[in-house]
Amino acid sequence: MRPYQSYVYAYPHKTAYRQLEPRPQLAELWAGEPQDALSLYLHIPFCEVRCGFCNLFTRIGSPDGLTTAYLDALERQAVAVRAALDEGARFEVAAFGGGTPTYLTARELERLCDLTEQRMGVDLRAVPLSVEASPDTATADRLEVLADRGTTRLSLGVQSFLDEEAKSAVRPQKRAAVEAALGRIRAAGFPVLNIDLIYGIDGQTGASWLRSLDAALAWRPEELYLYPLYVRPLTGLARRSDPPDRSMPQDWDTQRLALYRSGRDHLLAHGYRQVSMRMFRRADAAAEVAGEYSCQTDGMVGLGCGARSYTAGLHYSFDYAVNATEVRGIIDDYVATTDFGHAERGWPMDQDEARRRHLLQSLLQADGLELADYHRRFHSTPAEDFPAELAGFAERGWLADGPGRLALTAEGLAYSDAVGPALFSPAVRHRMAGHQAR
């Protein structure tokens, strides 16, 4: 089985979502939902450049006035969404993602924090707040705003500390700029620094991968994410004449798996604990400082044209695209919207899908799934609900023995991007296969 099939960070993926007819009202969707521990995500879809591997919903640059118009729309949406929630609804974690939230100016970031607090009722200094940034936009004035407003976790997309590898991944940056940004971030005093790195870049070797890791470790980040490179449709790398996943898929899989293992072992030897295939946390860093959203549960409130929201019965969002023209059109539609009281696109969640999601997201964490928790929620066991899938994992040696828990072995975690897709339902597979990439 190929180890790199799909990165499953949410189930089901947006490519399974379809237009909802009729559009349900948000007040009806959230009525009766537990609202004492919600998560809030605000999506900023702008970036200064588009990396060659990126298939996120993002726009490069912005015409005059567009960021202001976007924040205006975000505020209108916040008012409508807050009105749909219970008066006593409470948020326990928040995040600004993208795109690149720090594409916004310092003054715009102040406004983003203001509308989060004033329109959604979130005290950003009282809950964990995570913000994504890029080296060029991690300027001192922006970081000062974020630190003052209570940001607990700053995540920096570096991908590689080696200039030649960054260039190969079509990420125009210099190590000097990355190091300078990290210096400013550490000086700002965020409790948690996360650094994202990528392995499998064309021309990368085992030695160069370790050099990049050591450059990251010099900053003693509380968290590190190690991502395998994917070449996805409509991205810059996919437009190249001979991307590695088409020319030698088996060799590339072997290379990425070897790099993953060496990176994992290197971090474990340097005092990091593995949280998932991708995430590593420094052993002395407290998880509660950064705040974590549990994907097994519902209660995600998303604001912005690329954000998702999760209730028990429906996952929903706005339209999704990768192509620059399509993305611009979706953002233009969003900023022109005055009625944010309905869900537009989504996927209805039944009990089978809820079970799959809980099992999938739990197994992809190193700690695995607590069987008693699964039984309390679903009144069954994973073995009863998914006998064929779990038997297949066991045959490959991917399941670990442990009292009261179901977890992946170290080799199973290495194959997380095969384990996740193996648990997709036939209905989700059908919907994703019918999605037209644009």
For the stretch 194-250, pLDDT in tens is 999 999 999 999 999 999 999 999 999 999 999 999 987 777 787 774 544 444 456
CA dihedral 46, 51, 57, 58 (to 10 degrees): 20
Residue-level pLDDT at 57: 81
For the stretch 348-400, pLDDT in tens is 999 999 999 999 999 999 999 999 999 999 999 999 999 999 999 999 999 99
Confidence band for 295, pLDDT divided at 50, 70 and 90: low
The CA distance from 345 to 69, in Å, is 23
Domains of the chain and any CATH numbers = 14-290 (3.80.30.20), 351-430 (1.10.10.920)
For the stretch 138-170, pLDDT in tens is 999 999 999 999 999 999 999 999 999 999 888
Confidence band for 287, pLDDT divided at 50, 70 and 90: low
SS3 of 395-420:
HCCCEECCCCEEEECHHHHHCHHHHH
Residue-level pLDDT at 232: 77
Lowest mean pLDDT among 62-66, 111-115, 274-278, 434-438: 434-438
How large is the angle between the packed helices 66-84 and 106-120, nearest 10 degrees?
10
Confidence band for 179, pLDDT divided at 50, 70 and 90: very high
Cβ atoms of 245 and 191 within 8 Å: the answer is no
For the stretch 77-87, pLDDT in tens is 999 999 999 99
* Omega prior to 244 cis, within 30 of 0: no
| CA angle in degrees (0–180, nearest 5) for 112-113-115 | 70
Percent of the chain with pLDDT over 90: 84
Lowest mean pLDDT among 96-100, 116-120, 276-280, 283-287: 283-287
Closest CA to 210 of 258, 279, 156: 258
Instruction: Name, in order, each residue with C-beta under 8 angstroms of 144's C-beta and a sequence gap of 6 or more.
Output: 106, 188
Confidence band for 288, pLDDT divided at 50, 70 and 90: low
Residue-level pLDDT at 286: 73
Q: The tokens of 416 are what?
A: 């997380």
Average confidence (pLDDT) over 2-26: 94
Instruction: Name, in order, each residue with C-beta under 8 angstroms of 200's C-beta and a sequence gap of 6 or more.
Output: 228, 229, 244, 252, 255, 256, 259
CA dihedral 99, 102, 106, 109 (to 10 degrees): 50
- What b/e sequence results for 339-373 when a residue is b if at least 16 CB atoms lie within 10 Å of its CB, and e otherwise? ebbbbbbbbebeeebbbbbbbbbbbbbbebbebee
Confidence band for 256, pLDDT divided at 50, 70 and 90: very high
Residue-level pLDDT at 248: 47
Tell whether the model's pLDDT for residue 109 goes beyond 80: yes
Tell whether the model's pLDDT for residue 335 goes beyond 80: yes
- What b/e sequence results for 152-181 when a residue is b if at least 16 CB atoms lie within 10 Å of its CB, and e otherwise? bbbbbbbbbbbeebbbbbbbebebeebeeb
Tell whether the model's pLDDT for residue 14 goes beyond 50: yes
Tell whether the model's pLDDT for residue 289 goes beyond 90: no
Q: The tokens of 430 are what?
A: 């059908």
Q: What is the mean pLDDT of the chain?
A: 93
The CA distance from 143 to 370, in Å, is 39
Instruction: Name, in order, each residue with C-beta under 8 angstroms of 164's C-beta and a sequence gap of 6 or more.
Output: 203
The alpha carbons of the chain give a radius of gyration, in whole angstroms, of 21
The CA distance from 372 to 366, in Å, is 17
Average confidence (pLDDT) over 408-435: 97
For the stretch 28-62, pLDDT in tens is 999 999 999 999 999 999 998 878 787 778 898 99
DSSP run (H or E) holding 4: none
Closest CA to 60 of 325, 319, 302: 325
pTM of the model: 0.94
Residue 336: how many other CB atoms lie within 10 Å: 9
